[in-house]
Amino acid sequence: MTERAEVGVGLLGLGVVGGRVFDELRRNAESFAHRAGRQLSLRAVAVRNPERRRELVGGCAALLTDPLEVCTRDDVDVVIELIGGESPAADCIAAALRAGKSVVTANKEVMAKHGPRLLELARDHGVGLRYEASVGGGIPIIGVLQRELRANEVRCVRAIINGTTNYMISEMSQRGASYQEALAQAQQLGYAEADPTNDVEGIDAAYKLAILASLAFHTRIEPQQVHREGIRSLSARDFQHAANLGYTIRMLATARRTERGIDLRVHPTLIPAHDPMARIDGVLNAVAVEGDLLGTVVLEGPGAGAGATASAVLADLLDVVGAASSAAPRAQSPAERTPQLLPLAEVCLPTYLRLAVPDRAGVLAELGRAFAAEGVSIASVLQVPQPEAANSELPAAELIITTHAGPDGAMDRVLSALADSDSVLEVGVRLRIEGDQNLETVGAR
């Protein structure tokens, strides 16, 4: 970044978040200049449809359609990337870094897939790459892992990092909404896209967990290495059953270091009602980090929305400008390229099952034999009224079964056996259970 009195800023994208960043840069120009030590001047904005934004931008910046042009302009020192998605965002960030410009981004997909390469590119060209807004919205978890917790050996990261699914889960839990009702409400309020796949299937959360795990464990985690399951199979009655057992359900992202590798998972999880994560409702996000020196620290706050994301983006902007004025760019910890991962089949956790079974004598004994054959110990069995008929002419019953901690692979084999048995009409849902009582068993046989 140049040492001229003014810092030229280029903005890629003028959507909900980009529009808020644009407004704040104009409204708080004097205050930001005081905090950064240099005047911030918005020089160029790239948008897909300039005619829709021409009145908003006015004459305060060049309005362009090619984001790569913004990234290579001589009068731009810092590029803020808010166009989202992998392409062309990744190419734009790389082009800006090669041109000697620092970059601030909120793009979790790009940082999850290309982060190490782009960070190395930033180091090679002596510029900064900040991405606090890529995970957790306004929660400053990236900076905490990079700075405040650097002296700790991180043992575990547990997170609720998708506001859409957390809102839907809250609706199902608190108001008894069905999955479809909760989704429709989330879409109406603007929390869910028309195509909600990335959120409800855990893809978005897997990107974010890959970023957090890479930082926490000083390694390189690819998004595809994160096991993920979505929330489509959940029913409002699962939340009631969980409550009766002393739990609640949350879409939990977990990265845990074990003696035999890193355990990486995103899926709906039963957690104890007293767990701090159980109280994270609506579109809030939370991240709990356990370190060897500090113990456990929990950060929570708005995980999405224009204000929360713009807050993180602008803080990164001030940080990168201040770093260029006073010191070398913030160093990144070296990453181990090939982390040892713990296969999901070897992760040991209790399980919650909701089954539809024929209402006849001998069913429980037959189920018990299937569990015993794989060494899975049943902790509890509860028969509840069947709310809807299963695909059978026989009278049906609904069973809620919980197990003691056991290898996930053994549970897979139990479910495979149950699917082939005439003692089970339907496996409604299978959820894993997390809690203080089983943390030490993770990764053990």
- Catalytic residue numbers? 208
DSSP strands (E only) in 259-350: 261-272, 284-291, 295-302, 348-349
Bridge partners (DSSP) listed for residue 296:
290
Q: What SS3 state is found at 426?
A: strand
Closest CA to 320 of 87, 100, 74, 88: 100
Q: Are strands 261-272 and 247-258 parallel, antiparallel or unpaired?
A: antiparallel
Per-residue CA distances from 50 to 66, 80, 184, 306 (Å): 11, 18, 32, 21
Contact 104, 250 (CB under 8 A): no
The Cα diameter of the chain in Å comes to 83
Q: What SS3 state is found at 389?
A: coil
Return the structure tokens found at 55: 């009145």
Q: Is the peptide bond before 276 cis (omega within 30 degrees of 0)?
A: no
* H-state helical runs in 3-159: 16-27, 29-36, 50-57, 67-71, 89-98, 108-124, 141-143
Report how far residue 157's alpha carbon sits from residue 162's, in angstroms, rounded to the nearest whole number. Answer: 15
Q: Are strands 406-407 and 378-384 parallel, antiparallel or unpaired?
A: unpaired
Contact 386, 356 (CB under 8 A): yes
Report how far residue 120's alpha carbon sits from residue 118's, in angstroms, rounded to the nearest whole number. Answer: 5
Q: What SS3 state is found at 104?
A: strand
Question: Which phi and psi angles does 36 have, rounded to 5°?
Answer: -85, -20
Per-residue CA distances from 173 to 35, 182, 247, 279, 406 (Å): 44, 10, 11, 12, 27
Closest CA to 277 of 109, 156, 196, 179: 156
End-to-end CA distance of the chain: 53
Contact 206, 228 (CB under 8 A): yes
Report how far residue 242's alpha carbon sits from residue 270's, in angstroms, rounded to the nearest whole number. Answer: 7
